[in-house]
Amino acid sequence: MMGQTNVLYKGSLLTEHDIYLFKEGNHFKLFEKMGSHVTTVDGVRGTHFAVWAPNARAVSVMGDFNGWNKESHPLKVREDSSGIWEGFIKGLGNGTIYKYHIVSRENGYQVDKGDPFAFHWETPPKTASIVWDINYEWGNGDWMQKRHTANALDAPYSIYEVHLGSWRRVPEQEDRSLSYREMADHLVGYVKEMGFTHVEFLPIMEHPFYGSWGYQTVGYFAPTSRYGTPQDLMYLIDQLHQNSIGVILDWVPSHFPSDEHGLAYFDGTYLYEHADPKKGFQPEWKSYIFNHGRYEVRSFLISSALFWLDKYRVDGLRVDAVASMLYLDYARNEGDWIPNIYGGKENLDAISFIRRLNEVVYEHHPDVQTIAEESTAWPMVSRPAYVGGLGFGMKWNMGWMHDTLDYFSANPIFRKYHQNQLTFSIWYAFFENFVLPLSHDEVVYGKGSLLQKMPGDDWQRFANLRLLFGYMYGHPGKKLLFMGGEFGQWNEWYHEKSLDWDLLERPPHQGVRKWVQDMNHLYRSEPALHEVDFSNEGFEWIDFHDADSSVISFIRKGKTSGDIILVVANFTPVPRVGYRVGVPRGGVWKEMLNSDAEVYGGSGFGNLGGAEASQVPCHGRYQSVSLVLPPLGVVFLKSEGAR
């Protein structure tokens, strides 16, 4: 056979133990063995290829090195029933562009596929994989030493959610996106100045359709080449870490797109996905659903998770669309789904996979977090698998986001009828380890920007927005804000366009940005605002009954510091003078922040630096303070103790 002079069938990276683990779904570092790896065999430099295609009749490597010849470089199937084809091609190295040509045993099907384990891909719309060495000399050793503290559940999390392609663009150069390295020059300093603790990137894994925002992944081991090389992304992460900023990546183990060069129908059979469309096709997104019950697929996905944690040193994975994995009837009509063996709608294979994923992640990286985007009332999402939970570190609080934004969109005249919508989240706030998101999903597709959602004239819109952020920072739970919200972006987000940075030339937008910046610094510096987010020991209502005035008041408490922060919010445009609030301590209560301060664009109503408690019983307490509550404003006061 002609190809035998071109391919060596020796020097395999895979051992018998690798195959054993792969078959039983417990190989979690497949990226070290599968795909393309530059290596040396018999003193000759070249590239070893390995691809899983158990239903193929023939597999070959084609690329720029052989004129895309589909026959000249055949791989050989291993004789251990693993379904892995492999071979070594001498002379190939970094930068080689290639695909696998697969001839299926099924119906004569032939297809050209990208490498599921490729570390680098051509820039879309091109679709080939690239042999790539991902070595990088990291400079983030200090961060890696201390990140167990920065990523702990009692640490402050103020997450800045970013879409790389549209955060900032270069209008002078056809409005192109910034590269990874340019983002390092601009984003890092901005995030540090603003006081955010973490950045969360919408999926940066390679994806064919830019308009999917990365949520239709084909390259589970490769960052998109739209913004540079793997090392360029590593440099961006490195720079963030060197500035003490954590990095969280969106990751999509639920579904994948139907593009021919991707995972779909990989070897002429439904290999990564379910064969039955009632289980294998997601009608809402027109994509394919992973077969989480197949051992090799579990190894593939968990290896992908560990890859980003191992090789890119990220601090967390936000797992997308968990609800779609948990429920067999998700986004399906009656009769369009298949019940589990007990007749229920729970996806038992996916539940098992999720638990195993989280166990493996925390076993290998106890200093990171997994975060579930899960939109239902599924219990114990952020509780360990060994007590029956799903094992995530945290969960997005979608109920808080929707209820709060509904409340804020109401005219303040009518808010007194919706007080429960504002306070309901506290009743379940400690059932999970919650992140409070104001995410990208709420500012697209005609929903309007956060500022557009606010009622009233322009002054009231900005005041409401500052009040929304203040309420979020006071409320138990970690914080997440999508880019642009921090300065009051007027237009809703559009992925083909930069944020409207020129708005920062206008005082109201400067005021919102300054408010978020000061909120971040207060939040990070006050243990009471972040140490005990996930237990009712860190929260105590003062009063939530004053619906007629649309005022709520509560205190936040730290673990051991004894610090107490009082948060009082007025959700109407009526300033309230002499408003009495019961407090747990006497002495001076210093006003730390006031969203109505003139520096933020407010009207300047405030408490002249603080208030002293007096022996006037209120709200079931022996002492109280008399406050000025600013219109559509929130004040944070800290107990300085009795004098």
pLDDT in tens, 190-201: 999 999 999 999
pLDDT tens string 25-44: 999 999 999 999 999 999 99
- DSSP 8-class letter at 310: H
Question: CB pairs under 8 A, 24+ apart, for 93-96?
Answer: 93/38, 93/45, 93/46, 93/47, 93/131, 94/38, 94/131, 94/132, 94/133, 95/130, 95/131, 95/132, 96/36, 96/47, 96/63, 96/64, 96/65, 96/130, 96/131
Query: Per residue in 330-357, pLDDT tens?
Result: 999 999 999 999 999 999 999 999 999 9
CA–CA gap between residue 336 and residue 324 (Å, rounded): 14
* pLDDT one-digit tens code per residue, 564-595: 999 999 999 999 999 999 999 999 999 999 99
- Average the pLDDT over 237-241 and give the result: 98
State the pLDDT confidence band at 560, using cuts at 50, 70 and 90: confident
Residue % of the chain over a pLDDT of 90: 96
Q: What is the model's pLDDT at position 328?
A: 96
As a whole number of angstroms, the longest Cα–Cα distance in the chain is 97
What local confidence, expressed as pLDDT, does residue 173 receive?
A: 95
Distances (CA, A) of 429 to 140, 261, 527, 537, 603: 35, 44, 18, 12, 33
Instruction: Give the pLDDT mean for 263-269.
Output: 97
Mean pLDDT of 617-623: 96
Question: Binning pLDDT at 50, 70 and 90, where does residue 8 land?
Answer: confident
- pLDDT band for 2, please (50, 70, 90 cuts): very low
Given a cut of 50, whether residue 3 has pLDDT beyond it is no
Q: What SS3 state is found at 381? A: coil
Which pairs from 337-345 meet CB under 8 Å and 24+ separation?
Answer: 337/278, 337/279, 338/276, 338/278, 338/279
The pLDDT value recorded for residue 641 is 66
pLDDT in tens, 57-109: 999 999 999 999 999 999 999 999 999 999 999 999 999 999 999 999 988 89
Distance CA 241, CA 248 (A): 11
pTM recorded for the entire structure: 0.96
Q: If you average pLDDT over residues 367-393, what whole number do you get?
A: 97
Element (H, E) at 110: strand 110-113
Average pLDDT over residues 481-494: 97
Mean pLDDT (the chain) is 96
**Strand-strand pairing, 84-90 and 44-52:** antiparallel
Q: Which has the closest alpha carbon to 474: 383, 570, 391?
A: 570
Q: Give the pLDDT confidence score for residue 1 in this predicted structure.
A: 36
Of the candidates 596, 571, 308, the one whose C-alpha atom is nearest the C-alpha of residue 454 is 571
For residue 394, what pLDDT band results from cuts at 50, 70 and 90?
very high
pLDDT of residue 643: 42
3-state secondary structure 191-224: HHHHCCCEEEECCCEECCCHHHCCCCCCEEEEEC
CB 393 within 8 A of CB 370: yes
What's the pLDDT score for residue 563? 86
- Residue 359 falls in which region: left (phi positive, over 0), alpha (psi -120 to 50) or beta: alpha
* Catalytic machinery residues: 320, 373
For residue range 418-429, list pLDDT tens digits in order: 999 999 999 999
Give me the percent of the chain exceeding a pLDDT of 70: 99
Per-residue confidence (pLDDT) for residue 562, from 0 to 100? 77
State mean pLDDT over 292-315: 98
Return the pLDDT at 5: 65
In this predicted model, what pLDDT tens digit does every residue of 97-145 receive, in sequence order?
A: 999 999 999 888 999 999 999 999 999 999 999 999 999 999 999 999 9
pLDDT of 78 reads: 97
